[in-house]
Amino acid sequence: MATGLRTVSGSAGDPLAEAIELTRRLKLPHLRRALTDLVPTAKAQRWDPAEVVRVLLAEEAAGRDAVNLRTRRKRAAFPAGKTFGDWDETASSIPHPTPPRTH
């Protein structure tokens, strides 16, 4: 059974303010950043509501993916600034490949 729409206290009936407050409460920072730019665009271009939701959720997912990648790289403690050009083959402990035998 469907329930009535709920509002957030202290928003004075402004839907955008309510949405921003809910993104804070639900910890959706990437969606919140996109919300303020996207809503006026969606209104002006008469987007389907489902498209607005899809774009906002895609922004949140992309933002979380980027944060997760940065966190994983930081935890991995990769040496910064290293490139394949810095590779010193003489300092490597990896043995050279043996040539294939011919019969």
pLDDT of 51: 95
Q: 13: phi > 0 → left, psi -120 to 50 → alpha, else beta; which?
A: left
pLDDT of 25: 95
pLDDT of 88: 82
pLDDT of 55: 96
Q: Domain locations in the chain?
A: 15-77
Q: Enter the tokens of residue 81.
A: 């600034």
pLDDT of 85: 82
DSSP sequence for 60-96: HHHHHHHHHHHHHHHHHTPPTT--GGG--GGG--SPP
Task: Render each residue's pLDDT in the chain as its tens digit; 103 residues.
Answer: 556 666 666 556 788 899 999 999 999 999 999 998 999 999 999 999 999 999 999 999 999 999 999 999 899 887 777 778 887 888 888 888 888 887 7
